[in-house]
Amino acid sequence: MTDRAIIEKRPSPDALLRQARREGRGQLKIFLGAAPGVGKTFAMLAEGAALLREGEDVVVAVVETHGRAETEALVEPFEIIPRRQVEYHGRTLTEMDLDEVLARKPALALVDEYAHTNVDGGRHPKRWQDVDELLDAGIDVFTTLNIQHVESLTDVVASFTRVRVRETVPDSVFEDAEIKVVDLPPDELIERLKEGKVYVPQEASRALGHFFSKPNLSALREMALRRAALSIDRQMLQELDATALPGTFGAGERILVAVSEQPGADALIRAAKRLADGLRAPWMAVHIETPRSAAFDEEARRRIAAALALAATLGATIATVPAENVVTGLRNQIEGMRATQIVIGRSQRSWWFELRHGSVVEAIVKHLQGVAVHVIPSPSAALDSPQRLKRLAGGWGHPRAYATIALLLAVTTAVAALAQPWIGAGAVDLLYLVPVIVAASLYGLRPGLIASIAAALAFNFFFLAPTLTFTIADPQSVLTMLILTAVAAFTSNLAGRLRNRAKIGVRGAQESAALAAFSQTLARASDRETTARSVCDEVARLLEVRTILLADRDGHLDIVASQPEAAGLDPIDRAAADWAWARGELAGCGSATLPAANWQFHPLKTGLGVLAVLGVARDDGRDPVPADRAVLLSTLVGQAALAHERLHLEDEMRSMSILKERDRLRAALLSSIGHDLRTPLTGVTSAIEAIRAEHPDAATIPLARAELARLRRFLDNLVDMVRLDAGALKLALEPIDLTDAAAGAVHDLKETLRGHHIDFQVPPNLPLVRADARLLHHMLINLLANAVQHGAGQGPITLAADRTADAVRLMVRDRGPGLEPGAESRIFETFAQGTGGDRHGGSGLGLAIVKGFAEAMGIAVIAANHPDGGAEFTLVFGPANIVSPAEDEGE
């Protein structure tokens, strides 16, 4: 490629398509911060207010002020879109009204907390999806986001904050967004936290000891700045590709490492990795595939494949790029990714080699401007005589090619001799261009050059006077001879280059067609076995290898399909497959793990984990995947993994449908039983009361009434469990005095508690708690009944309450054998019963009802064994459930 061709770069079709997709969409601006409290919402409102004063149509779709006076003051000038009210577990919550914003259609909408998870019942589960719909409608959006909510960074954040973020946004939201970093030094943010400007004092003290430590904030701050810089760099590159502007635009570093067949490629990769880590820059490892690549021996191909595999494991993007020569390929790649630095090795070539082929390093340094070139010396590889002869023969073609050239020259000479009387000797030289062009087209550049020299000599020998000698008597004939040689050499060179380009283009088209066909084949597969067979058949055909696919069956890795049929795997191969399955890493032949295996195993890794393992092998014992097929295999493995992920998700959807239908039938059955038993239960109650009126001294009446009350509680639990599962539970939260609530539960359960001493330790000076009185009453009755049933009559039942720094606790304790070890959480499961001691015999619904009601009201419930014996169940009312004195006085 010439310098002029590089300067006249055409716009990238992909970049133009991205720009076309953005036409008509709104512009997204993300106010990105390192942590809560840096002032993202304040900055968003301030900038929105400035636009409002300039006459822009700006509305507040949703903004969370968190009670901060300065933030609330900024909201006042805006038109505020009323929020949508949603009933959730008896509570009335508010969410952004997406339809109202779309109907209003402002020029700019302010949407706070981009990563927010919407309450069930909305059109989208995530707020960023709501924002995407606003953008599609042509509405510009300002939004706020903390760096820990970016999907790709959650693992990194959790590694040092010990906090796993659940609300995330995909990295793709940054592609077309404008990023504004709202920054605050850690010391200033910590000071704001201490002053209560971020959280209330109690929450602030806990935050300072955990998430808001200075090292954590410094790390998050660096991540936010780097993520913003990365997004800006990508957007700049997309704009440059769309406008076809030349240049590297090295505001951000981008590193390219060139991998060759020479020894030392692994050292080159490691040097590039160190450079990328030092600069915190993205990097790519590329191998330029030229016509010379066909002559590489197996050792050279193995070195290239190993280097690319190493680069992939170290985090690089890898590529194999076909090109006419190495310099052209590297220059195109540098221009395409706008690399600012290139790492290249320099081997110990002979002067004769560099005279014939030139130096890649010298050419890169000479023709590239604005790119830093790092040259790493490569160790020289000593070649013995057979290797030199083999490489020499591979470079100049096969002897059969020269036999064909000789035959073509003989035929041309005969035709010229017959045609000379009609066309004259002056036109004979043009006939000799035919075998030169044919030779260069069929066999390449070097055989074509030999053919051009042989054609000139044949023309001289047979047609220039004196004939049948190589002597040229006429000076004019010398000029004719030289021109013929030059034209023949030029024509040979041109035909050879066109042939090489055609080979490269045909190969690329074949691979693209093969990948498209492979994708269509996988899309048509509807079950795992068909997909596995398709993967094995297509990979075996495209790469000319043996294939085998293994997946989990009944807890162990088993062969699902193979091509051709495989009898089995030996222990080393089985160990390599297990390693790839368990670790999600390449293993087996040609890898760094168990290289003695016959197979090379590639994990089919997706976001759901490793779903299968694909093995490839060759019968001749060579590396299964040569360097020029490494990228193709990587693409095939990726497509196979996506196909298995699709099948896995389809299976889960079918399982969920079955579970939903099963739950629906179970709920219908339980509801029917609960309601159908109420009528006979009412009749039995009336009959017992009538018997009691006639025979007040009957000894069995109290027992019958107690069992009847127990059956009624069971039916109530049954109906309430159905309501919980159906999400039909409605809450009526109100301030409740726990002393009154506990006394009322004891009173209503007096028949069951007859004969049991109640140690009542609920002080009257506890603060009021916010709960549903009916549900709390039901919970206390179930806990007391549970204590009666499992206390074994071995002591009093304690009902106690106390106040801690940030909670109010209500405890019910029995004096029975206690809970089994490890059953503290399992005891709350539906129909769960104790299996040891006396903790058995119940329906298993009472404690499940307690747990369900507690979660609905935001109350924690804890089961544990008391140090002095017996089981203890504790209801913990957190700050959100405690009525403050100001609220109490207001009511």
At residue 755 the predicted structure's pLDDT band, cuts being 50, 70 and 90, is confident
What is the pairing mode between strands 255-258 and 283-289?
Answer: parallel
Q: Is 464 exposed, middle or buried (0-12, 13-18, 19+ CB in 10 A)?
A: buried
| Mean pLDDT of all residues in 83-103 | 81
In this structure, the answer to whether residues 236 and 265 fall within a common structural domain is no
Q: Find the mean pLDDT for residues 370-395.
A: 60
pLDDT band at residue 234, thresholds of 50, 70 and 90? Answer: low
pLDDT average, residue stretch 713-728: 65
Residues 540 and 641 in one domain: yes
**What's the mean pLDDT in 131-143?**
90
Same domain membership, residue 160 and residue 266: no
24: left (phi over 0), alpha (psi -120 to 50) or beta: left
State the Rg of the chain over Cα.
40
Here the CATH number for the domain that contains residue 193 is: 3.40.50.300
Q: Is the pLDDT of residue 208 over 80?
A: no
What is the band of 840 on the pLDDT scale with cuts at 50, 70, 90? very low
* pLDDT tens digits for range 238-260: 666 655 566 555 556 888 998 88
Query: Is residue 716's pLDDT more than 80?
Result: no
Is 140 inside a domain boundary?
Answer: yes
Q: Which residue in 333, 640, 642, 322 sits closest to 511, CA to CA?
A: 322
Predicted pLDDT at 382: 47
pLDDT above 90 (res 810): yes
Is residue 297 situated within a structural domain?
A: yes
Long-range contacts of the stretch 736-739 (C-beta < 8 A, 24+): 736/768, 736/769, 736/770, 736/771, 736/773, 736/776, 737/764, 737/766, 737/768, 738/762, 738/766, 738/769, 738/801, 738/808, 738/810, 739/763, 739/764, 739/766, 739/801
pLDDT band for position 384 (cuts 50, 70, 90) = very low
Confidence grade of residue 889 (pLDDT, cut at 50, 70, 90) = very low
CA-to-CA distance for 120 and 807, rounded, in angstroms?
Answer: 29
Q: Which helix (H) or strand (E) is 94 found in, with range?
A: strand 91-95
pLDDT at 106: 92
The answer to whether residue 592 is domain-embedded is yes
Answer whether residue 68 is part of any domain: yes
pLDDT bin (cut points 50, 70, 90) of residue 875 is very high
One domain, residues 852 and 747: yes
* More confidently predicted of 801 and 680: 801
Residue that wins the pLDDT comparison between 800 and 710? 800
**Rounded mean pLDDT, 461-474:** 73
**Residue 696 falls within a domain, yes or no?**
no
The 3-class SS string of 244-304 reads CCCCCCCCCCCEEEECCCCCCHHHHHHHHHHHHHHHCCCEEEEEEECHHHHHCCHHHHHHH
State yes or no: pLDDT of 576 exceeds 80. yes
pLDDT of 202 > 60? The answer is: no
Structure tokens at 468: 């049948």
Q: Does one domain contain both 199 and 322?
A: no
Same domain, 498 and 576: no
pLDDT at 185 over 70: yes
Domain at 282, CATH number: 3.40.50.620
d(CA 238, CA 22): 12
Does the pLDDT of residue 300 top 90, yes or no? no
Specify the range with the lowest mean pLDDT, choosing from 59-63, 83-87, 384-388, 768-772. 384-388
Q: Is residue 164 part of a domain?
A: yes
Helix 186-194 crosses helix 214-243 at what angle (to 10 degrees)? 130
Sign of CA dihedral 376, 381, 382, 388: negative
| 565-576: average pLDDT | 83
Output the pLDDT for position 141: 93
- Residue 761: phi, psi to the nearest 5? -125, 50
Return the CATH number at 758.
3.30.565.10
Residues 374, 403 within the same domain:
no
SS3 percent helix, strand, coil of the chain, rounded to 5, is 55, 15, 30
Kindly tell me if the per-residue pLDDT of 886 is higher than 90.
no
Residue-wise DSSP of 530-589:
HHHHHHHHHHHHHHT-EEEEEEEETTEEEEEEEES------HHHHHHHHHHHHH-S-EET
Domain assignment present for residue 791? The answer is yes
Helices first, then strands: H and E counts in the chain: 31, 25
Answer yes or no: is pLDDT of 839 > 50. no
Domain end point (choices 194, 209, 243): 243
Does residue 5 surpass a pLDDT of 50? no
Averaged pLDDT, 800-808: 87
- Separation between Cα atoms, residue 861 and residue 855, nearest integer Å: 8
Secondary structure in 3-state letters for 575-639: HHHHHHHHHCCCEECCCCCCCCCCCEEEEEEECCEEEEEEEEECCCCCCCCCHHHHHHHHHHHHH
Q: How confident is the model at residue 388 (pLDDT cuts 50, 70, 90)?
A: very low
- Say what the pLDDT of residue 874 is: 92
- Tell me the backbone φ, ψ of residue 31, rounded to 5 degrees: -90, 105
Q: Which long-range contacts (CB under 8 A, 24 or more apart) does 753-757 make?
A: 753/784, 753/788, 753/797, 754/702, 754/706, 755/793, 756/788, 756/791, 756/793, 756/796, 756/797, 757/795, 757/796, 757/797
Q: Does the pLDDT value for residue 19 go beyond 70?
A: no
pLDDT at 511 over 50: yes
**Same domain, yes or no, for 460 and 491?**
yes
167 and 18 share a domain? yes
504 vs 643 pLDDT, higher one: 643
pLDDT band at 731 (very low <50, low <70, confident <90, very high): confident
Q: Between 6 and 758, where is the model more confident?
A: 758
- pLDDT tens figures, 145-167: 988 888 877 777 777 776 777 78
Domain count, the chain: 5
Whether the upstream peptide bond of residue 466 has omega within 30° of 0, thus cis, is yes
Say if residue 797's pLDDT is above 70.
yes
Examine the fold and report which residue of 596, 627, 652 is the final residue of a domain before the chain moves on: 652
Share of the chain above pLDDT 90, in %: 6
Higher pLDDT, 397 or 68: 68
H/E stretch holding 28: strand 28-33
Does the pTM of the predicted model rise above 0.85? no
How far is residue 806's CA from residue 633's CA, in Å, rounded to a whole number? 58
* Residue-range definition of the domain harbouring residue 775: 730-890
- Domain-located, residue 694: no
Read off the pLDDT band of 348 (50, 70, 90): low
3-state secondary structure of 141: strand
* Contact by Cβ (8 Å): 491, 436: yes
Quick one: tokens of 11? 């716009």
Q: What is the C-alpha separation between 581 and 638, in angstroms, rounded?
A: 15
Domain end position, chosen among 328, 348, 381: 381
Same domain (yes/no): 540, 442: no
Question: Rounded to whole angstroms, how far apart are CA atoms 387 and 404?
Answer: 26
Shared domain check, 59 and 188 = yes
Return the top range by mean pLDDT from 235-249, 422-436, 485-499, 855-869: 855-869
Q: Identify the weakest region by mean pLDDT among 48-62, 473-487, 653-667, 705-719.
A: 473-487
Tokens read off for 831: 């129909």
Q: Tokens 């595939």 map to which residue?
A: 289
Query: Do 239 and 259 share a domain, yes or no?
Result: no
Residue 143 has pLDDT above 90, yes or no: yes
More confident residue, 593 or 666: 593
Asked if the model's pLDDT at residue 870 lies above 70, the reply is yes
pLDDT at 879: 82
pLDDT of residue 473: 63
CA 783 to chain centre: 45
Pick from 9, 14, 13: nearest CA to 338? 9
Whether residue 562 contacts residue 568, with contact meaning beta carbons closer than 8 Å, is answered with no
654-699 confidence digits (pLDDT tens): 777 776 676 676 666 666 666 666 667 777 777 777 777 777 766 6
Q: What is the pLDDT of residues 121-132, one digit of tens each?
A: 677 888 888 898
CB atoms within 10 A of CB 47: 17
